Amino acid sequence: MPPSRTSYVCLPCRASYKQPYDRERDNRVCPRCAGALVHVGSAFAPPKRRDTDAWRTLSVLLNAGVRFHKSCCGGPGYRPRTLSEVKERMAYAERTGEPFAKSLLRYELPQ
């Protein structure tokens, strides 16, 4: 059976690469800019390279520690897709004291 493949992202290049997952080799290098690749998970679907707002949203998610790993029931669950959704969740986290990464994963914000 071939090794499972997972997604790695280079944020400056706005590029995604599928590569075999190897626990021992975690320092991946971007083939375009030689920068570090970020492991995002196997359930990741990259935005188009021209969609700067989607890549900015993705950058916020990745810097907060949110990844796109599959769960037992399918996909990774809810992830915000727009900057306005991210801003709403940031304001909620600041208002309630909830960790930022946890508030980013909320499908709906409580009133």
- How much is the average pLDDT of 100-104? 90
Between 10 and 20, residue with greater pLDDT: 10
Residue 3 has pLDDT above 70, yes or no: no
Using 50, 70 and 90 to split pLDDT, how confident is the model at 77?
A: confident
| CB contact burial 16-43 (16+ within 10 A = b; e otherwise) | bbeeebeeeeeebebeeeeeebbbbbbb
Residue 92 has pLDDT above 90, yes or no: yes
The residues spanned by each domain of the chain are 5-104
- Average per-residue pLDDT in the chain? 88
The whole-angstrom separation of Cα 10 and Cα 21 is: 16
| 21-70: pLDDT as tens digits | 877 777 899 999 999 999 998 889 999 999 999 999 999 999 999 888 87
What pTM was computed for the model? 0.84
Q: 């208002």: which residue's tokens? A: 95
